[in-house]
Amino acid sequence: MAVWEKWHWDGLGWAVFGPLGNVLARAMGDDSAGDRDVQLDEDAFYPQTRAGDFGLSLMALLPPVIHADQQVSQPEIDFVHYFFMTTFGNEQAQDLMSLLEKFLELDYSQKKVCQQVEKLMDFPSKLEIIHLLFGLAKADAHLDQVEIDAIQEISTSIGLTQEDFNSIRAMFVDEPNAPYTVLAIDPEADRQAVERAYREMGAKYDPGQVSNLGEEFQKLAGEKFEALEAAYQRITQERGWT
């Protein structure tokens, strides 16, 4: 079974309804989907984000970033393909790239998609969405401001704070005080504050926080934890702490 079919039939919870379900139906060739909007059950209980919910949300939020600089660059497409291939295998990657092509051609409301994600996706999964979008944007070794702005808009729209966004952004943009921004602390923070922030952010970025997304996505979440570790090590080295 193709991975997107698995998402559709086995891995989708809340994403099969509302704007995301509508977009998926259109991408799969349901021409009538544009004329209807499958309503969310406001009373339903969605305890955790499923792999399908996450995958479909990511698929729907990739196009706004890819289109941000008014062109679809080959490095960005290569990055997405590599991401799919290393995460799901070559055969599944081809299926997902075909689905992404359809998403890139569709005209749908980013705002409505983000509203659905904001309401129903758990916090650790939202962080991982933004982390992956930054990876896409920097696939050509350069982050354009329009791409950063596009991710910022998505981050805000799905309910993340400016501090959340800045922390992940600093993992990709090497600027003054970036290690401190990753840890969400002031550059003048003392050793006790740095170590406390490191512990707190370590819990926040622990890959185990997204174990509900499955092994593939959990492995990718480890990259955020590695970036946090690198930021902490850089601070300790610069300050001469043993």
Neighbours of 108 (CB within 10 A): 17
- Residue 162: Cβ-neighbour burial (10 angstroms; 0-12, 13-18, 19+): exposed
Confidence of residue 213 (pLDDT cuts 50, 70, 90): confident
The residue that leads in pLDDT, 35 or 159, is 159
The pTM is what?
0.88
Residue-wise pLDDT for 83-141, tens only, equals 888 777 777 788 888 888 999 999 999 999 999 999 999 999 999 999 999 988 888 77
At residue 36, does pLDDT exceed 70? no
Query: What CA–CA distance (Å, rounded) separates 166 from 7?
Result: 31
The DSSP result for 64-106, as a single string, is HHHTTTSS--HHHHHHHHHHHHHHH-HHHHHHHHHHHHHHHH-
Structural domain containing residue 161: 3-239
- Tell me the mean pLDDT in the region 15-43: 70
| pLDDT given for residue 127 in this prediction | 96
Total domain count, the chain = 1
| pLDDT given for residue 153 in this prediction | 97
